[in-house]
Structure 1
């Protein structure tokens, strides 16, 4: 998408939070990615220092605790979900949004979204005004971001694919 830069990396793999991970399969790169995810999720400095301590323990030959693995997977999965939701929200805005000097707005049946490409801001809220996701200059705030909400946005993305495919087919027919 042009204009609006996703403040998160593309998801590399779609690990499920309750998926088993063997401690010996965790690398320093995994911990570095966890630290970056924690930073982007706005975790405290103490939280990030604990990740560094876990990395140092791994370097010295200790295995990660089951608790550390669980928290690492949770943070990574949460960031991947936010990244995907951000991508879809931008696409929805480009297709169905109304733009003005304040950015792009979409009034949906269940959710509303607004984004400003220049400031890299995105807000997704329920119709009742309850905030789901708020990105302000790369800082993340989430509230009740569930797999069901992500699925709703995935469904909207699929709907966009169908609409665009139909539109392209109609254009081809008109050009013949």
Structure 2
């Protein structure tokens, strides 16, 4: 394992005067800065919250997350996953902005990557998997305003994966 490579996932509430222009500036500056720092990542924006994963060398990730936390365009910044990673999930994206519409369009790519990594079973129903993966996080973070712990995320991931595998096995035997 490359112990210097980490992933940080956080949520924040945007404080944007001109959302379209401000988000464009954030993405453009990230696409210039991140390759120089060895950073990759993805930014999801649903109109109310940012959820972002940044990945790269530990020092660069820590520095970048500190900058984001102090950026006046973000409030209520909460990191809910910080972990060492063996390989990047967003290798080709210096920073990718994903809107709700685009997320629906690229979900097969994202889920197929998870399948190739062995995180999801091969014959998984993509819509069902996304519903199972996103709904508990949305409920915990947005509705309840709570931060999921590592233990909570790990338990949720194992339960969802086991449930998906069991439902596929059951469907095959019927």
TM-score by length of 2: 0.30
Higher relative contact order (CA 8 A, sep 6+): 2
Larger Rg: 1
Q: Which has the higher strand share?
A: 2
